[in-house]
Amino acid sequence: MQAPFTTLSEFRETLAKAPESHATAFQGAQDRNSQLTKPPGALGRLEDLAIWYAGWRGNPKPQINAPQVVIFAGNHGVCAQGVSAFPPEVTEQMVANFEHGGAAINQLSKAFGATMNVHALSLDTPTADFTQAPAMTEAEVVSALQIGWAAVDPASDLLVTGEMGIGNTTSAAAVAAAVLGGDAADWTGRGTGVDDAGLARKAEVVAKGVALHASSDPLEALRCLGGRELAAMAGAIAAARHCRIPVILDGFICCAAAATLAKAVDGALDHAVAGHQSAEAAHARLLTALGKEPLLSLGLRLGEGSGAALAIGILKGAVACHSGMLTFAEAGVSAG
pLDDT of residue 85: 87
The pLDDT tens digits of the residues spanning 212-268 come to: 999 999 999 999 999 999 999 999 999 999 999 999 999 999 999 999 999 999 999
Give the residue-averaged pLDDT of 306-320: 98
Q: pLDDT band at residue 335, thresholds of 50, 70 and 90?
A: confident
> What's residue 255's pLDDT?
98
What is the overall mean pLDDT for the chain? 97
Apex CA 68: angle with CA 298 and CA 284, to 5°?
30
Question: Between helices 228-242 and 252-264, what is the axis angle to 10°?
Answer: 60
Q: Which of 189, 223, 194 is nearest to 206 (CA)?
A: 189
pLDDT at 1: 86
Q: Could you report the per-residue pLDDT of 127-183, keeping only the tens digit for each?
A: 999 999 999 999 999 999 999 999 999 999 999 999 999 999 999 999 999 999 999
DSSP codes of every residue in 28-93: HHHHHHHHBSS-TTTTTHHHHHHHHHHHHHT-SS-----EEEEEEE---GGGGG---SS-THHHHH
What is the predicted pLDDT for the residue at 193? 83
d(CA 282, CA 206): 13
Counted residue by residue, the chain has a size of 336
Asked if 294 and 274 touch (Cβ cutoff 8 Å), the reply is yes
Rounded-to-integer distance, Cα 42 and Cα 27, Å: 19
**pLDDT score at 336:** 66
pLDDT tens for each residue of 317-331: 999 999 999 999 999
Which residues have a catalytic role annotated? Answer: 304
Q: Which residues pair with 70 in a beta bridge?
A: 117, 161
CATH numbers and ranges of domains, the chain:
64-320 (3.40.50.10210)
The tens digit of pLDDT for each residue in 27-85 reads: 999 999 999 999 999 999 999 999 999 999 999 999 999 999 999 999 999 999 999 98
pLDDT digits (tens, 9 = 90+) for 261-300: 999 999 999 999 999 999 998 999 999 999 999 999 999 9
* Strand positions, DSSP E, the chain: 67-73, 115-120, 158-164, 247-249, 272-274
pTM value is: 0.97
